[in-house]
Amino acid sequence: MDFAIFIKILIAAVAAGTPFVYAALGELVTEKSGVLNLGVEGMMLVGAITGFIAMAKTGSLLLAVGCGMTAGMLMAAIFGVLTLTLMANQVASGLALTIFGIGLSAFLGLKYTSIALPGIPELPIPLLSDIPVLGKLFFSYDILVYGSLALLAIVSWFLYKTRAGLILRGVGEAPKSAHALGYNVVRIRYIAVLFGGAMAGLGGVYLSVAYTPVWVEGMVAGRGWVSLALVVFATWRPLRVLFGAYLFGAITIAQFHIQGLGIDIPSQLLSMLPYLATILVLVVISRDLTAIRLNSPASLGITYHPENQ
Amino acid sequence: MFVRIEPRPEPSRVMKYCSPLIAAVLMLISGLIIFTLLGKDPVQAFHAFFIEPIHDLYGIGELFIKAAPLMLIGTGLAIGFRANIWNIGAEGQMALGAIFGGYIAIIFHGSSSHFILPLMILCGAIGGILWAAIPALLKTVFNANEILVSLMLNYVALLLLEFLVHGPLRDPNGYGFPQSVLFSDSAMLPILIEGTRLHLGVLISIIGVGIGWVFLEKGFTGYQLQVAGLAQKAATYAGFKYKKLIWIGMLSGGITAGIAGALEIAGPIGQLLPSVSPGYGYAAIIVAFVGRLHPGGIFLSSLLMALLYLGGESGQMNLDLPSAVTGIFQGLLLFYLLAADFLIHYRLRLNSRQRENG
């Protein structure tokens, strides 16, 4: 294969992987606080359509990002009220959130189906992007791709270098002890859930405004669920999320390149690749029980409320 | 704070049965608000959505046709849900049931044998079981999360069905449309009541719910599933084999979804199409919860959910209401149920001043 083509594929993989970076890092923070929100797909969809509408109406990327994040957060707030205040089952609540999000986004997007947006411009970093090959590979993306890398840095720093991050992890590992030490477990979990919602919304905005700037019903197409799998794949470590996201970005775009190479495989079978790859990855990672037990937050998915103990 | 949350000494049985009703009422009220927001006359819209579709015998028949796959799959899923085994893959297992059943109808096309229908249903069941066996196997052997695996397989199954009707199973005389031949009469479920489309599959589904009831409420395995769901450690100490329960929980969803898929194509659809279900596999999850994971409740909640589908169609035709409203109603219903369930374990008490002072 031509080297230039290889670089082109890598660049496309980064773009395709960026929605995963946002959504999976958001979910990672949520899960670190001990809450499993299976509603990522629904939050991404609602974020995608609100961002799309804001962009179509105003042309302002800032507003699109703001609206998408807010929408994702509102969705997460529903989940928070159900699971944190009303102590409902997290699995059922997350599923409800996704079903609701699929319906709500289809409804909001009725008047926007098949409208195309101009997309957002690339922002080559001056000087650095002029470096041959590497400049193109590392320094010539749009602002949301850079934003996702900044998010990775912030999340890693927050979780492992700050006191607040330590408390958040503590709440995920041992909510009872955190409560006994005087921390407000429910409030901390609310913040983590809302953050996850905002990031899922932002991932959705990236999809509908930058990656494929056309609204199509259900356009998230399982990426929310893949993001959930990526958190497991990354064994709850931020940097590995980035690696997994780009790997899945590459798999997502591989189908188009395989067709481009003239290999005759029906498109439907190629479209199965990301989903099959997710299953494969889950199997490989989950097989190692000790690694999962060591890394997954100990209270993940278990309802905690001080009134209830 | 004037209102205080107080744990009930024992879960309230009354609230357990009332909370689905509360959820349904809240959903209907939300419906009125949504209709008003959409600029429709709420009473007229309410009538078009919830009453018009079932005002005659034909409409009642349609209600049961839509409820049949929901109650059947809902029962199958509830068996797993009781033990916290989350099969979210019914949509895909249903597609596999349709593929397996439809394949029988296609290869025996033109034959008038009476064995075709039973064979279709049998093969549909096998298709659903095989598809559900994948997450069960990966869960029991590799510890892979069954929620994510079964969900991923939904996308794979729908793509597989799409591929088949575009390619190998396409009607050669169908002008290239992505659909199979129309099935022969021998591969179609007979109509039970003149003047409706109510077919034998509805009866089969109701019998399926009955079998589910016996299995869950009268058998030892049903008891084991219940215990495993409430306290997995206790179940293990009691010597129940959790892996076996995972298999039962996953495959019960698979077999019911597979049969439902075969019944759909042999009933209302009559051929293989790129899509054989308007999200029944997902809606059945809600049906199972709203029905309290109990077959009797599931029967009732499947009728409510079917009405939401019918109402969506009727509202679209009569009032130009977007059909996506159905999805919103479905999500809201489950939200309200989960919220109302809070009152099973807790009660709200008004704080009196004296107690605060004391």
Question: Using one digit for the tens of pLDDT, what is the confidence trace for A186-200?
Answer: 999 999 999 999 999
Residue-wise pLDDT for A56-78, tens only, equals 999 999 999 999 999 999 999 99
User: In the predicted model, what is the mean pLDDT of residues B68-93?
Assistant: 96
Comparing A119 with B303, which gets the higher pLDDT? Answer: B303
Give the chain A residue nearest B328 (alpha carbons): A103
Length of chain B: 358
Chain B nearest-CA distance from A300, in A, is 13
User: In the predicted model, what is the mean pLDDT of residues A107-113?
Assistant: 90
Backbone angles phi, psi at B191, to 5 degrees: -80, 135
- Whether A103 sits inside 8 A of B5 (CB atoms) is no
Residue-wise pLDDT for B147-166, tens only, equals 999 999 999 999 999 999 99
User: In the predicted model, what is the mean pLDDT of residues B322-340?
Assistant: 89
Cα separations (Å) of A64 from A47, A227, B81? 9, 22, 39
The highest-confidence range among A281-295, B183-197, B234-248, by mean pLDDT, is B183-197
A308 contacts in B (CB within 8 Å)?
Answer: 7
Chain A nearest-CA distance from B181, in A, is 21
Q: Is the dihedral of CA A194, A197, A202, A205 positive or negative?
A: negative
- Whether A271 sits inside 8 A of B153 (CB atoms) is no
- Whether B331 sits inside 8 A of A96 (CB atoms) is yes
Number of folded domains that form chain A: 1
Name the residue among B138, B148, B160 with its Cβ closest to that of A225: B148
Name the residue among B143, B330, B338 with its Cβ closest to that of A103: B330
Secondary structure letter of residue B347 according to DSSP: E
Q: Which helix (H) or strand (E) holds B219?
A: none
Give the chain B residue nearest A89 (alpha carbons): B338
Comparing A133 with A33, which gets the higher pLDDT? Answer: A33
What residues have CB less than 8 Å from B75, skipping those under 6 apart?
B208, B209, B212, B213, B256, B288, B295, B298
- Please count the residue pairs, one from chain A and one from chain B, whose beta carbons lie less than 8 angstroms apart: 138
Whether pLDDT at A53 is above 90: yes
A278 contacts in B (CB within 8 Å)?
Answer: 148, 152
- Whether A269 sits inside 8 A of B5 (CB atoms) is no
B307-312 contacts, C-beta under 8 A, 24 or more apart: B307/B50, B307/B53, B307/B54, B307/B63, B308/B333, B309/B66, B309/B278, B309/B283, B310/B53, B310/B54, B310/B59, B310/B62, B310/B63, B310/B66, B311/B48, B311/B49, B311/B50, B311/B53, B312/B49
Give the chain A residue nearest B280 (alpha carbons): A99
Name the residue among B328, B329, B342 with its Cβ closest to that of A86: B342
Residue A230 binned pLDDT confidence (cut-offs 50, 70, 90)? very high
- Whether B152 sits inside 8 A of A107 (CB atoms) is no
A100 contacts in B (CB within 8 Å)?
Answer: 327-328, 330-332, 334-335
- Whether A92 sits inside 8 A of B151 (CB atoms) is no
Mutate to test the interface with B, among A75, A81, A91, A99 (most CBs of B within 10 A): A99
Residue-wise pLDDT for B20-50, tens only, equals 999 999 999 998 898 898 888 888 888 888 8
A232 reaches B (C-beta below 8 A) = yes
User: In the predicted model, what is the mean pLDDT of residues B11-15?
Assistant: 85
- Give CA–CA dist B293/A126, Å, rounded: 61
> What tokens were used for B171?
């009607």
Mutate to test the interface with A, among B38, B154, B159, B325 (most CBs of A within 10 A): B159
Percentage of residues of chain A with pLDDT beyond 90: 70
Residue-wise pLDDT for A201-216, tens only, equals 999 999 999 999 999 9
- Whether B342 sits inside 8 A of A87 (CB atoms) is yes
- Whether A86 sits inside 8 A of B338 (CB atoms) is yes
Comparing B354 with B317, which gets the higher pLDDT? Answer: B317
Whether pLDDT at A254 is above 90: no
Say what the pLDDT of residue A308 is. 64
User: In the predicted model, what is the mean pLDDT of residues A276-287?
Assistant: 92
Whether pLDDT at A179 is above 80: yes
Whether pLDDT at B251 is above 50: yes
Q: Which domain does A283 fall in, by range?
A: 3-308
User: In the predicted model, what is the mean pLDDT of residues A269-298?
Assistant: 89
- Whether A272 sits inside 8 A of B335 (CB atoms) is no
Does domain B7-345 correspond to CATH entry 1.20.81?
Answer: no
A222 reaches B (C-beta below 8 A) = yes
Say what the pLDDT of residue A128 is. 78
Chain B nearest-CA distance from A88, in A, is 6
- Whether B339 sits inside 8 A of A81 (CB atoms) is yes
Name the residue among A99, A222, A292 with its Cβ closest to that of B331: A99
Whether pLDDT at A267 is above 90: no
Residue-wise pLDDT for A147-178, tens only, equals 999 999 999 999 999 999 999 999 999 999 99
Task: Map tokens 């905005």 to a residue.
Answer: A205
* Residue A237 burial by Cβ neighbours in a 10 Å radius (0-12, 13-18, 19+): middle
CATH number at residue A90: 1.10.3470
Residue A94 binned pLDDT confidence (cut-offs 50, 70, 90)? very high
Residue B356 binned pLDDT confidence (cut-offs 50, 70, 90)? very low
Say what the pLDDT of residue B237 is. 79
Q: Helix H segments across B167-294?
A: 200-218, 220-230, 232-237, 242-264, 280-290
Q: Give me the residues of A, 140-199, that contact B with CB < 8 A.
A: none
Cα separations (Å) of A157 from A34, A138, A154, A257? 19, 22, 5, 37
Whether pLDDT at A278 is above 80: yes
Give the chain A residue nearest B337 (alpha carbons): A88
Say what the pLDDT of residue B242 is. 85
Residue B120 binned pLDDT confidence (cut-offs 50, 70, 90)? very high
3-class state of residue A113 by DSSP: strand
Whether pLDDT at A286 is above 80: yes
Nearest to B288 by CA among B276, B300, B279: B300
Comparing A290 with B188, which gets the higher pLDDT? Answer: B188
Question: What's the mean per-residue pLDDT of chain B?
Answer: 91
Cα separations (Å) of A103 from A160, B186, B192, B237? 38, 38, 34, 43
Mutate to test the interface with B, among A45, A75, A95 (most CBs of B within 10 A): A95
User: In the predicted model, what is the mean pLDDT of residues B190-218?
Assistant: 94
- Whether B152 sits inside 8 A of A78 (CB atoms) is no
Percentage of residues of chain B with pLDDT beyond 70: 97
- Whether B338 sits inside 8 A of A88 (CB atoms) is yes
A283 contacts in B (CB within 8 Å)?
Answer: 138, 142, 144
Comparing A131 with A182, which gets the higher pLDDT? Answer: A182
Q: Give me the residues of A, 99-118, that contact B with CB < 8 A.
A: 99-104, 106-107, 110
Nearest to A241 by CA among A71, A31, A91, A74: A31
Name the residue among B151, B162, B331 with its Cβ closest to that of A100: B331
At position B220, the amino acid (one-letter code) is F
Question: What's the mean per-residue pLDDT of chain A?
Answer: 91
Decide: B316 and B40 in contact? Cβ < 8 Å: no
Mutate to test the interface with A, among B156, B165, B289, B293 (most CBs of A within 10 A): B156
Chain B nearest-CA distance from A96, in A, is 5
Question: In chain A, where do the E strands start and end?
Answer: none
What residues have CB less than 8 Å from A162, skipping those under 6 apart?
none
3-class state of residue A86 by DSSP: coil
Say what the pLDDT of residue A7 is. 83
- Give CA–CA dist B74/B256, Å, rounded: 8
Mutate to test the interface with B, among A272, A295, A303 (most CBs of B within 10 A): A272
Residue B1 binned pLDDT confidence (cut-offs 50, 70, 90)? low
User: In the predicted model, what is the mean pLDDT of residues B114-124?
Assistant: 96
Nearest to A171 by CA among A36, A79, A299: A299
A290 reaches B (C-beta below 8 A) = no
Name the residue among B88, B155, B335 with its Cβ closest to that of A78: B335
Name the residue among B147, B330, B335 with its Cβ closest to that of A82: B335
Residue B357 binned pLDDT confidence (cut-offs 50, 70, 90)? very low
Say what the pLDDT of residue B358 is. 35
- Whether B166 sits inside 8 A of A268 (CB atoms) is yes
